[in-house]
Amino acid sequence: MTEPILTTSALTRDYGGTGLLGVDLVVPTGAIYGLVGLNGAGKTTLLALLTGLRRPDSGTISLRISRRRLAYCPDVSEFDPWLTAREVVDLALSLTDSRQPEERADHIDAALADAGLTGSVSRRVGGFSRGMTARLGLACALASDPDLLILDEPAAALDPVGRAELLTQVAAMRGHRTVLFSSHILGDVQRIADQVGILRAGRLLYQGSTQELIDTYLTPAWLVRIAGDASGFLAAATGADWVTAVRSAPGDGAVRIEATSMAAGERGIPALVAACGLRLAAMEPAGADLESAFLALTTGVAGAAA
């Protein structure tokens, strides 16, 4: 990563205690940056400030590129219903691109194809579904080949297939385009974002590597599955000095083991299973995901999701 493409300093937009309060955002160039937070955390306010739709009460925004190299796709895209999909993308491109219409044409077709709208280029957008309109919004944003793409809840209107395709498409931008996106779907953020920012009540609680966040809030706990009867293992684990808690996970027969440290658990669990003469069917970290880290960070309860 080189110099950040976007930074903010003490960015504040105060709606009487809510809004955005002193946010120092750093978006590295070429990163896929996921912005997560509960409803009302300030995600949309932050994106509106970054795109110039609202003005901050105080603080600064530093953009290393021209504003014309930034494209924003809102959570709900709306277009004049009597325009065709091609005309909408052409209009979007005409506002940011000085090339002649005939020179823009190939870019328009390519953007519509990338958005999966090849068969609907000449259809009026008034007949589009929510998902198709969302795809059209993305086509408008991508047509200008922006250096910084800002997406507000990009997958909200898409079906599961469309969502998966969008995530693949965004992940493929890593390195040659910076993407800043907000999402409620933490699994999506974990899947494609290498950087994450967590907002709560207008404040940025965490900002940095997604993996580091998960590692920081990773609790030394595992779900262990034993081939056969696990009662002997349960008894042995209860007496082990490196084990801090043992309980049967409800429903699926797994045993949840919490250890004094990651190393103690990773060494001790297989050894204990072997000592009991049992076979280890599976052993997976509990709460090793962004959702657990998010909940731990925003609620203060470690391993809340596990």
Which segment (30-38, 160-168, 182-190, 195-203) binds other proteins by CB under 8 A?
160-168
Alpha carbon distance 244, 204 (integer Å): 33
Contact with other proteins (CB under 8 A): which of 27, 115, 230, 269? Answer: 115
In this structure, the strands spanning 26-27 and 178-182 are unpaired
Contact with other proteins (CB under 8 A): which of 138, 224, 255, 273? Answer: 138
Coil, helix or strand at residue 70: strand
Q: Which is nearer to other proteins, 52 or 270 (CB)?
A: 52
By CB under 8 A, residue 176 contacts other proteins: no
Q: Which is nearer to other proteins, 14 or 114 (CB)?
A: 114
Count of residues of this chain found to bind other proteins when the rule CB under 8 A is applied: 47
Q: Which is nearer to other proteins, 72 or 206 (CB)?
A: 72
Alpha carbon distance 139, 195 (integer Å): 24
* Angle (CA) 70 150 206, round 5°: 125
Question: What residue type is assigned to position 144 of the chain?
Answer: S
Q: Which is nearer to other proteins, 115 or 272 (CB)?
A: 115
Tell me the CA distances in angstroms from 233 to 19, 219, 250, one per residue in order: 51, 21, 17
What is the x/- site pattern for other proteins, positions 216-255, by CB under 8 A? ----------------------------------------
Q: Which is nearer to other proteins, 124 or 256 (CB)?
A: 124
By CB under 8 A, residue 65 contacts other proteins: no
Q: Which is nearer to other proteins, 103 or 212 (CB)?
A: 103
134: its two tokens: 């969302």
By CB under 8 A, residue 188 contacts other proteins: no
- Name the minimum Å distance from CB 132 to other proteins: 11
Cβ distance 141 to 74 under 8 Å?
Answer: no
Angle between helices 130-143 and 101-114 (to 10 degrees): 130
- Give the number of C-alpha atoms closer than 13 A to the C-alpha of residue 139, restricted to the C-beta side: 30
Handedness of CA 135, 137, 140, 141 (dihedral sign): negative
Cβ distance 177 to 6 under 8 Å?
Answer: no
By CB under 8 A, residue 181 contacts other proteins: no
Contact with other proteins (CB under 8 A): which of 36, 42, 46, 87? Answer: 87
Cβ distance 306 to 291 under 8 Å?
Answer: no
Residues found near other proteins in the complex (CB under 8 A): 48, 51-55, 71-72, 74, 76-80, 82-83, 86-87, 90-92, 94-96, 100-102, 104-106, 109-110, 113-116, 135, 137-138, 140, 158, 162, 165-166, 168-169, 172
